[in-house]
A and B are shown apart, each in its own frame.
Chain A
Amino acid sequence: MSNKLNSSFESFNYFEALFKNTHQNTVLLMDAEGIIKEINTAFTKRFGYHDEDIIGEHLRVLFTEEDRSKNLPEKEISNVLHHGQCNDNNYLVHKNKTITWVSGETILVKNHDGKISLLKIIQDIQLQKISENSMFLLNDFNENILHSIEDVVIVLDEEMKIIKINKDISELFKSSKRNIDLLNFVEIIKPYDIKDDLLNKIQQAFKTGKGFLSKEMEIATKAGEKRIFDISCRLLDDKTKILLVGHDITIQRFSERQREDIIGFVAHELRNPLANILLCNELMNETIKENDFKAVEDLLTRSKNNVMRLNKMIAELYDATKIGSGNMQLETSEFTFEDMVKEAIDTIEVLHPDYTIIVKGRADISVHGDRYRLIQVVTNYLSNGIKYSKGSNQVELNLNHDNNNITVAVKDRGLGISPDQLPHIFNRFFRAEKTKNLEGVGLGLYLCRQIINAHHGKVWAESEEGVGSTFYFSIPIEWHND
């Protein structure tokens, strides 16, 4: 009996020494209600509380507000009472209010007199938590990078299930399923993969273990438009997964095609007058043989007109490339707006003696601008009005101004422009369907827009098919070239 007592006394001493002096483990002792009875030096060191701060307090004081509201301390205690032991990870609050992530083991201890104590051993796992957090942040970071990539990035497993994708799949393809996790790629891509190009390539890549680079493929989107992707494929994780990267090169290809079209179109337009000159030459050859000099004279005039046309087209093209690349240099001066308009009208009347230009309104105002370029705009508007008026030989020019702006309107009774084409008429190389039979390369109005823009003004048009069109431009009166 005494032996037993002794040994238990000794073990208690041993236990107490361990409890008090361990530096590695912070330990605290509570009663069955969770009231703190004892703490060790390591606890004081770690959490700042001394005996007088915390003995007699409930375990709750060590928990965060949030955890307390969830009754975590109470749950922990009842867990130990029921199961004899429990493990928890949670924050503990330092005396100075900072919080530390800890792993705690709480054990139920029974004295020989049957009194229950709870022993809580706390391990500081803050570092672990921090590294976990940073891993999480790193993943988050990678995820963010993935989502900010313009290209489509997809990871597939061997069964062609989508493991990861950086774009909203419904944005790319029509898919009734919202959740893209583990969606089958074959199912999704099938209707859009023209000629099954992509699927075959991927299956081959899985078989051979070799990816591919820069395969150009046409993929239709849900809107029905074809898009051209430059697709690369790489095998990941011991060749059990595939990484697909698709770069949308539709716009690039489109502008390449457009450029080819434009060059072709310009070549065609330049060939017209050239062919005419050639025809003139051939005809002159014959008329000279016949001594028909009146005909020769006529052909020489025609030939000259075509040379002028070529010259005009080349000038337009040159201007357009210069202006298009942002090199629009205005040579500004002060002049009376009305006089400038009159000069433009004179030019047109010489070229088209059969047409009458009716001027309404006045603009006897001094403006600052590029006189030559503005004459170019007015003559362009007027010659358009003349070219496109069928049957009528009148074009109306209206001058209008308020305190700030001068507006010019040129009105014809011509073919008119359809509403779907109207928004595009000031674009480069645009020519309305019905008016393809007329000279120029489709740069006239584009140049006008650029010139007026450089004057801080604006251009616009109104039109009714079969009735006629009115082309407008307005420029500010007070304008300073900067």
Chain B
Amino acid sequence: MGKILVVNNDIDTMDLLKSWFERKNFEVKYTSDADEVPDLVKQFYPDVVLVDVLQSKAAEQLKSDRLTKQIPVILMTGYTTSKQVI
């Protein structure tokens, strides 16, 4: 069973994503605190991490750690142009 970690600033969104992915038979954990992400990843070993752009710090941390940099990270955003995101 695939495991997904969701890092988002919106509790509602995280709840719904969890319901959605659980229906698709994924195991889901979530957090809104970017600082918790490295520890959580090391306990949970997700197959993929979904990170909201506003929490992109979490993605940076994962990618700079030798132990976690292999894990795919997908950034999510509500922004409409790349200029706004970057």
Contacts and interface: CB of A to CB of B under 8 A. Distances in A.
A273 B23 contact: no
Nearest to B53: A268
B68 interface: no
Given A279-B20, A283-B23, A286-B23, A272 B10 contact: yes
A275 B23 contact: no
B40 to A, nearest CB: 15
A264 B79 contact: yes
Contacts of A264: 79-81, 84
B20 A268 contact: no
Contacts of B32: 437
Contacts of B15: 302
A279 B78 contact: no
B25 interface: no
A271 B52 CA distance: 13
Contacts of B12: 272-273, 276, 302, 305-306, 309
A441 B56 CA distance: 19
B70 interface: no
Contacts of A118: none
B10 A437 contact: yes
B75 to A, nearest CB: 13
Interface string A243-274: 00000000000000000110010011111110
B79 A282 contact: no
A97 interface: no
Contacts of B78: 267-272, 275
Contacts of B61: none
Contacts of B9: 436-438
Interface residues of B, number: 22
B13 A272 contact: yes
Nearest to B79: A268
Contacts of A280: 16
B71 interface: no
A279 B17 contact: yes
Interface residues of A, number: 25
Nearest to A298: B19
B35 to A, nearest CB: 9
Nearest to B17: A279
B54 interface: yes
A362 B74 CA distance: 52
B11 A437 contact: yes
Contacts of A283: 16, 19-20, 23
A426 B26 CA distance: 42
Contacts of B80: 264, 267
Contacts of A276: 10, 12-13, 16
A70 to B, nearest CB: 73
A280 B54 CA distance: 23
A282 B20 contact: yes
B16 A267 contact: no
Interface in B1-57: 8-13, 15-17, 19-20, 23, 32-33, 54-55
Contacts of B84: 260-261, 264, 268
Contacts of A275: 13, 78
A275 B78 CA distance: 8
Contacts of A302: 12, 15-16
Contacts of A271: 78
A267 B79 contact: yes
A279 B22 CA distance: 13
A268 B76 CA distance: 11
B27 to A, nearest CB: 18
A306 B12 CA distance: 8
A436 B18 CA distance: 20
Nearest to B10: A272
A279 B20 CA distance: 8
Interface string A213-243: 0000000000000000000000000000000
The 10 A-B residue pairs with the shortest CB-CB distance in the complex, in nearest-first order: A271-B78, A437-B9, A264-B84, A437-B32, A268-B78, A279-B16, A272-B10, A276-B12, A268-B79, A436-B9
5 contacts: A260-B84, A264-B80, A273-B12, A276-B10, A302-B12
